[in-house]
Amino acid sequence: MDQGHKRWVRIQPPGTTADHRQGSLILARADGDQQQAAIGNQFGGRVGLFLATDNFARDHAAMQRAGVRFEETPRHEPYGTVAVWRDPFGNRWDLIQFT
């Protein structure tokens, strides 16, 4: 199907199928001035994206080595270990290992 000027990419974990119920992330290019102005503020300053891990310490250290800057030191909550970081576009993420 011709979608004209629309562009997007789907990211999904290895071993999953195209079935959207298994989990994937679709990233789309901003279309127009209003959408471009919202880049980095889609969630109104709140964390709106979550990167779950099975080994927080390993992935936190690897992300720091890769240049990711965390907004806080890791904290332990009743639901797991978490730390907030921003992607290159200003979106706030939680790196989280659920208990």
CATH number for position 16 = 3.10.180.10
Position 38 in a domain = yes
Residues 81 and 95: beta-carbon distance below 8 Å: no
For the chain, how many structural domains are there in total? 1
Instruction: Report which residue type is found at 50.
Output: F
Residue 76 lies in a domain: yes
- Does residue 62 sit within a domain? yes
- Cβ atoms 68, 83 nearer than 8 A: no
Compute the distance between CA of residue 44 and CA of residue 91 in angstroms, rounded to an integer. 10
Q: Which residues contact 76 (CB under 8 A, 6 or more apart)?
A: none
Compute the mean pLDDT over every residue in the chain, rounded to the nearest whole number: 88
To the nearest whole percent, how much of the chain has pLDDT over 70? 92
Q: Which residue has the higher pLDDT, 25 or 60?
A: 60
Domain for residue 1, yes or no?
no
The residue with greater pLDDT, 53 or 27, is: 53
Residue 22: what pLDDT?
Answer: 67
Range of the domain at 19: 8-98
Would strands 25-28 and 80-86 be described as parallel, antiparallel, or unpaired? Answer: unpaired
